Amino acid sequence: MWAEHGFAAAGRWRGLLARLLRQPAGRGGLGLVGLLLAVALLAPVLAADRPVVARLDGHLVWPGLSSAARAWVTVPAWRDALETWEAPGGGRPFAGRYPELEGADWARAEAAGRVSWALWPPLRASATRFDGAAMDRPPGEGHPLGTDDHGRDVLAILLHGAIPALQVALGSQALVALLGVGLGLWAGWSGGWLDLALSRLAEAVAAIPAFLLVVAAMAFLAPGVPAVVLVLGLAGWPLLFRLVRAETMRLRERPWVLAARAAGAPGWRVARRHVLPHVLAPAAVALPVGAARAILAESTLAFLGLGDPSLPSWGALVQQGRLHAAAGGGLPALWGGLAILLAVAGFNLLGEGLRAALAAR
């Protein structure tokens, strides 16, 4: 009997997905989160000042790959290693220069006849390159939503801003899940002094407001996505820990778990096969809500000027719009705020849909 419960986990997840799709909140949340993911993945080829692929001086080059590498790989050492990687067939597909061509140089090379053909993004504009000659332009040709006070295209920033938002949301919640589920399962299954020690540690961490911890950590860590992910992950695991611990303590007395232990199965195997699959679904409800909070934290840091100024951020757009609202330059704040609203609403709706789907069992 206990083996049947262990192998039924896949069916539980399929049933959860089916019930989630029957919930209006679940469908709305999946749609908005899917849109955010699509925008983040496609941003380097939707808006850039370099072509996606081109034939330069008779050679086929892929600037879009280096654009994607720069946008998604936020650790400088990893990015440098990727850009210097030699492909088996020769060449460096992720290199940032082709050769010595960067940003506007591509347009000059095209005008000089060095580029025989090129596939350009729909929006030929940079989300990161400062242009003093194009500051604070209103919406118009070449800049559908205008430019910010650094001459960067607002629409490009909106598209590329989805990348750090999604990186912070998914990265921090992956760390929260690793710590919260792992330690919660360990404490709930083992009990005794280990449970007491981990519970007191979780209470101590939960007593510190996560955002204040992030702000304080920015004084010692280099601003950027990895630092925010690390601090939010280390500060956000206690809630999931308590949920998983309580569910584990309830499940460890269920008949199929007791039968597995009576059959002589090692304790760690029983916990992994017959307890862990049952605690993952309830724990999954807390992760989308945590992802929404992580997006708000990343945007707030950028709004306060504590983020990485080289990264496009929705919070920075809101800050620039606020500063220039009196002069009629508040549109960037509107677009940045709308992007934050949709992303946070998507993850919150997904969490609500998961909660309703679990309640409908």
Q: What is the pLDDT of residues 284-305, one digit of tens each?
A: 888 999 999 999 999 998 888 8
Closest to 110 in 3D by CA, of 124, 96, 123, 122: 124
Q: What is the mean pLDDT of residues 337-342?
A: 94
% of the chain at pLDDT higher than 70: 89
pLDDT tens digits, 7-28 = 455 566 677 778 888 888 889 9
Confidence bin at 2 (pLDDT 50/70/90): very low
Chain-wide mean pLDDT for the chain? Answer: 82
Q: Name which of 154, 111, 110 is nearest 131 in CA terms.
A: 154
d(CA 204, CA 212): 15
| Res. 89 pLDDT band, cuts 50 70 90 | low
pLDDT band at 73 (very low <50, low <70, confident <90, very high): confident
Predicted model pTM: 0.86
> CA-to-CA distance for 204 and 184, rounded, in angstroms?
15
Parallel/antiparallel/unpaired status of strands 59-61 and 115-119: unpaired
**Domains assigned to the chain:** 2-41+157-359 (1.10.3720.10), 49-120 (no CATH)
pLDDT score recorded for residue 6: 42
Least confident of 61-70, 100-109, 161-170, 239-248: 100-109
Nearest to 276 by CA among 1, 13, 50: 13
Of residues 248 and 78, which shows the higher confidence score? Answer: 248
Quote the pLDDT of residue 294. 93
pLDDT attached to residue 7: 45
